[in-house]
Amino acid sequence: DGGITQSPKYLFRKEGQNVTLSCEQNLNHDAMYWYRQDPGQGLRLIYYSQIVNDFQKGDIAEGYSVSREKKESFPLTVTSAQKNPTAFYLCASSNPDRGTGDTQYFGPGTRLTVL
Amino acid sequence: DQQVKQNSPSLSVQEGRISILNCDYTNSMFDYFLWYKKYPAEGPTFLISISSIKDKNEDGRFTVFLNKSAKHLSLHIVPSQPGDSAVYFCAARYGNKLVFGAGTILRVKS
């Protein structure tokens, strides 16, 4: 089945440690995105990538880094510089199509908790 | 600066009745609007979208209405079912990005 996978589902990290969240898609989508969701808030864009080897900062990129070496993979690293990393992280992908609104399809998410 | 607002944090509706979820936006450059449904601890799933050049789009029990002059859109679910209970996010497209509202929790009572 085609889809987006994120691993792990739950992740715990100690303060001061970097951690990498995985996102893989087999939908052959060109664009991929990372969001975080906090209680009572909408999804906020961290980073996005329209093509391989290229990515742009979203609205809250500070303390995060990404890479896009392969079309199907877009890992997100939460660094120790991120002040409040505990959140639910969502990865999405889309095939840019101006005619259909670039519908983004989401993975199941990773819940990161900093201890 | 919240460009997309969902002013009702929650909504409770009786099974079989209509659910109306509302969304307001401020940026007139948004060219597409989307609704997503989300269950706890899962990723959002796409429901329905509408282009800014249209005022209505329908898909089964779901209809989205767009009022550009008021910068307002709404999602109608008829009839509502208990399985519709979830968080609903409104999103608007600008350039290569989507801007999301904070979500509305819908509870459908049986």
Tell me the per-residue pLDDT of B50-102, one tens digit each, with 9 for 90 and over.
Answer: 999 999 999 999 999 999 999 999 999 999 999 999 999 999 998 888 999 99
Task: Show the tokens assigned to B110.
Answer: 């049986």
Question: Which candidate from B9, B43, B49 shows the least CB-CB separation from A106?
Answer: B43
Sequence-distant (≥ 6) Cβ neighbours of residue A87 within 8 angstroms: A36, A37, A38, A112
Note whether A58 contacts B97, CB cutoff 8 Å.
Answer: yes
Ranked by mean pLDDT, which of A84-98, B31-45, B58-72 comes out on top? B58-72
**Phi/psi at A101 (nearest 5 deg)?**
85, 15
**CB of A104 less than 8 A from some CB of B:** yes
Of residues A75 and A81, the one with the higher pLDDT is A75
Q: DSSP for B55-75, please give it.
A: SEEEETTEEEEEETTTTEEEE
Cβ pair B92, B3 in contact under 8 A:
yes
Query: How far apart are the C-alpha atoms of A78 and A85, rounded to whole Å?
Result: 7
**pLDDT tens digits for range A12-66:** 999 889 999 999 999 999 999 999 999 878 899 999 999 999 999 999 999 999 9
B103 at the A interface (CB within 8 A)?
yes
The torsion defined by the Cα of B91, B36, B64 and A26, in degrees rounded to 10, comes to 100
> Which residues in chain B are contacts of A100 at CB distance < 8 A?
49
d(CA A52, CA A46): 17
Q: Structure tokens of A110?
A: 């990773």
